[in-house]
């Protein structure tokens, strides 16, 4: 039976759809922190919370209303320790919000001006919502949207290349960095093309070959390797090789096989001429230890992220990280021999490393590129959507996989009303999306 509560009021005053499962998940997480594993009990308690909200005539409750009643319900139902864990987490989040508000001007890493530009572009091209995308598909205008998105992205890349050229000859390294599956590799290739059009010589170094052998990485309780941390790379060797290249020396880079997890040293010979720019495409290109021997004035830092601004029918924007998760689920299946579910359950490593080692550097870069293209969402849905209900069902009651459950549900809610696009023939071979779905004109 559907709930009489349809909406809730967030702390910022916005009204969003009510979802009892969010209450159950919050209770379950508090219980899991104490060693609990009873999802059904968490759902029973969530129903009691809902009943108490309705008894109090709160059909559009606030977040604070809900949390207050959760605390009372847990204590009355004999879950005192869980209530204490829930209260402790609530206080920690409140302290975090207070600290964030206080330090907003100096530590916030969200590029608001860029996001506004992205939203306006989407609105101007009528692709800012799921309903709008559905209309474009229904009206046969999908190819037009693809063309417009590709032109916007190419123009941004061109401007980035022009900024590099403006700083020559001082700049010797162009670092193209960003979180996982933001399309760093395609962007690197396109920057290289723009530099070549201006008569500049360039040389790219593939830092993926600098991963340590897989057995050298620590495993978690699931047997999963954390290769998202910058320390999974041989940072000292990278720094040494870059310094040697800038000094005019010849190096031999390693070769890493992702399917076997093994690295072979001294394989690819490489040198850098005085008039060449070294291009670095790396997840951790901005991480200090990677290029610490090179003066900052010799580096140009370009950051790329999927700064998408597309809302679902409930008005919720798709998260940038979820957009990238979809891309990586496809790419991992053919590049790393991983099933989509494996990528989903590994994603907590990705996010942890991004938040610690990548995103904090966004304020230090010279240029920012948005790689989100709204036309990709219907295409990605056609390939991946079936995996999310399966993951929700599989992980809902798994105390140790709640991150995967919450993420799968969020993506499901974002895409459920979107018309899938099976046909990708309108996507050009030079599109950044081809980096993930295949069929690219570029060699990766």
Cβ contacts of residue 257 below 8 Å, gap of 6+? Answer: 263, 264
Calpha distance 411→423 (Å, rounded)? 21
174 within 8 A of 276, measured Cβ to Cβ: no
Least confident segment among 100-114, 186-200, 306-320: 100-114
Share the mean pLDDT of the chain.
89
Most confidently modeled range among 193-197, 343-347, 426-430 = 426-430
Confidence of residue 134 (pLDDT cuts 50, 70, 90): very high
- Confidence at residue 56, expressed as pLDDT on a 0 to 100 scale: 77
The percent of residues above 70 in pLDDT, for the chain, comes to 93
- Confidence at residue 102, expressed as pLDDT on a 0 to 100 scale: 43
Mean pLDDT of all residues in 291-311:
95
395 within 8 A of 408, measured Cβ to Cβ: yes
150 within 8 A of 374, measured Cβ to Cβ: no
pTM here? 0.78
Is 144 or 194 the better-scoring residue by pLDDT?
Answer: 144
Mean pLDDT of all residues in 274-301:
90
Give the model confidence (pLDDT) of 46-87 as tens digits. 999 999 888 877 778 888 889 889 998 999 999 989 888 888
Confidence of residue 107 (pLDDT cuts 50, 70, 90): very low
Confidence of residue 105 (pLDDT cuts 50, 70, 90): very low
Confidence of residue 285 (pLDDT cuts 50, 70, 90): confident
pLDDT of 104 over the 50 cut: no
Calpha distance 184→307 (Å, rounded)? 14
293 within 8 A of 242, measured Cβ to Cβ: yes
Confidence of residue 1 (pLDDT cuts 50, 70, 90): very low
Is 13 or 272 the better-scoring residue by pLDDT?
Answer: 272
Calpha distance 395→414 (Å, rounded)? 19
Mean pLDDT of all residues in 352-363:
84
Mean pLDDT of all residues in 258-278:
91
Can you list the domains of the chain with their CATH numbers? 7-104 (no CATH), 109-437 (3.40.50.300)
226 within 8 A of 345, measured Cβ to Cβ: no
């Amino acid at each position: 039976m559907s709930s009489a509560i349809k909406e809730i009021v967030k702390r910022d005053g916005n009204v969003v759809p009510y979802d009892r499962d969010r209450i159950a998940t919050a209770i379950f997480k508090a219980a899991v922190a104490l060693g609990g594993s009873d999802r059904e009990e968490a759902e029973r308690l969530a129903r009691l919370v809902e009943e108490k909200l309705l008894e109090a005539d709160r059909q559009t409750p606030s977040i604070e209303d809900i949390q207050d009643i959760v605390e009372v319900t847990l204590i009355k139902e004999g879950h005192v320790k869980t209530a204490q864990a829930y209260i402790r987490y609530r206080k920690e989040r409140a302290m975090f919000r207070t600290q964030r508000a206080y330090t907003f001007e100096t530590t916030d890493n969200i590029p608001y001006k860029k996001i506004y530009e992205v939203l306006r572009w989407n609105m101007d091209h009528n692709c800012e919502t799921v309903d709008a995308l559905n209309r474009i598909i229904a009206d046969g205008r999908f190819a037009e949207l693809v063309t417009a998105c590709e032109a916007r992205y190419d123009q941004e890349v061109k401007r980035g290349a022009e900024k590099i050229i403006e700083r020559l000859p001082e700049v010797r390294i162009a670092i193209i960095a960003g979180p996982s599956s933001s399309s760093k590799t395609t962007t690197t290739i396109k920057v290289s093309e723009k530099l070549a059009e201006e008569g500049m010589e360039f040389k790219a170094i593939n830092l993926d070959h600098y991963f340590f052998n897989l057995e050298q990485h620590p495993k978690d309780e699931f047997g999963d390797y954390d290769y998202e941390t910058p320390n999974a790379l041989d940072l000292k060797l990278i720094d040494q090789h870059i310094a040697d290249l800038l000094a005019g020396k010849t190096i031999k880079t390693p070769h890493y096989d992702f399917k076997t997890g093994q690295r072979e040293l001294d394989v690819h010979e490489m040198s850098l001429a005085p008039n060449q720019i070294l291009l670095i495409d790396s997840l951790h290109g901005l991480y200090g230890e990677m290029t610490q021997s090179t003066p900052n004035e010799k580096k140009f830092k370009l950051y790329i992220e999927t700064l998408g601004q597309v809302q679902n029918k409930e008005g919720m924007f798709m998260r940038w990280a979820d957009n990238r998760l979809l891309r990586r689920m496809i790419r991992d299946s053919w590049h790393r021999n991983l099933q989509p579910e494996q990528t989903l359950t590994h994603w907590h490593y990705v996010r942890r490393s991004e938040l610690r080692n990548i995103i904090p550097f966004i304020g230090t870069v010279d240029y920012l590129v948005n790689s989100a293209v709204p036309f990709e969402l219907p295409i990605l849905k056609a390939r991946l959507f079936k995996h999310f209900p399966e993951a929700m069902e599989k992980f809902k009651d798994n105390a140790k996989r709640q991150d995967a459950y919450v993420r799968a549900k969020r993506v499901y809610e974002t895409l459920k009303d979107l018309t899938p696009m099976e046909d990708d023939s309108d996507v050009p071979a030079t599109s950044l999306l081809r980096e993930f779905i295949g069929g690219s004109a570029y060699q990766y």
